[in-house]
Structure 1
Amino acid sequence: MDGQAGNAPWYRAARVHIQAYDPSWPVRYAEEAELLTRTLRGAVVAVEHIGSTSVPGLAAKPVIDILAAVRDFDDFPTVADLLRGIGYTYTPESEADDASRRVFRKGPDDRTALRTHHLHVTEHRSHYWRRLVAFRDHLRAHPAEAAAYLRLKRDLADRHAADPGRYTRDKRDFVREVERKAGV
Structure 2
Amino acid sequence: MSRIEVVDWTPRWAEQFDEVAAVLRDALRSVPSARVEHVGSTSVPGLAAKPVLDIDVIVEEHAVAAAVAALESVGYVHRGDLGVSGREAFHAPDEPRRHVYICTAGSANVRNHLAVRDVLRARDDLREAYAGVKRALAADPGMDIDTYVAGKSAVLQQVLEESGELTAAELVAIRRLNDPA
Alignment TM-score > 0.5, same fold: yes
Q: Any residues of structure 2 matched to 1:59-78 within 5 Å, and which?
A: 59-72=48-61, 75-76=64-65, 78=66
Aligned residues: 164
Residue identity in the other structure for 1:159: D
Q: How has the CA–CA distance of structure 1 residues 75 and 141 changed in structure 2, closer, same or farther, with 3 Å as cutoff?
A: closer
Contact 2:64/2:102 (8 A) holds in 1: no
**C-alpha displacement at 1:138, in angstroms?**
0.2
Aligned to 2:144: 163
> Is 2:64–2:104's contact at 8 Å kept on the other side of the alignment?
no
In structure 1, the gaps of 5 or more residues are 1-11, 109-113
1:7 alignment counterpart: none
- What is residue 32 of structure 1 aligned with on the other side? 20
Cα 1:89–1:161 change in 2 (3 A) is farther
Q: Which residue of 1 aligns with 2:108?
A: 127
| 2:79 pairs with one of 81, 91, 112 | 91
Q: Deviations over 1:19-55 (max 9, x none)?
A: 1111111111011111111112232521111111111
Supply the distance in 2 between the matched residues of 1:70 and 1:89 (Cα, whole angstroms): 18
How far apart in 2 are the matches of 1:46 and 1:165? Answer: 29
2:123 alignment partner in structure 1: 142
Alignment partner, residue 104 of structure 1: 90
Percent identical among aligned pairs is 32
Match of 1:111 in 2: none
Q: Show CA shifts across 1:73-120 (max 9, x none).
A: 5652x533432343433333x632x31211223267xxxxx9701112
CA distance in 2, matches of 1:161, 1:57: 26
* Aligned counterpart in structure 1 of residue 42 of structure 2, from 50, 53, 67: 53
Structure 2 gaps, min length 5: 166-181
| Residue 152 in structure 1 maps to residue 133 in structure 2 | yes
- AA aligned opposite 1:42: S
Q: Normalising by structure 2, what TM-score?
A: 0.79
> Matched residues in 2 for 1:169 and 1:141: separation?
24
- Tell me the TM-score normalised to structure 1 length: 0.78
Q: Report the Cα distance in structure 2 between the residues aligned to 1:168 and 1:154, rounded to whole angstroms.
A: 12
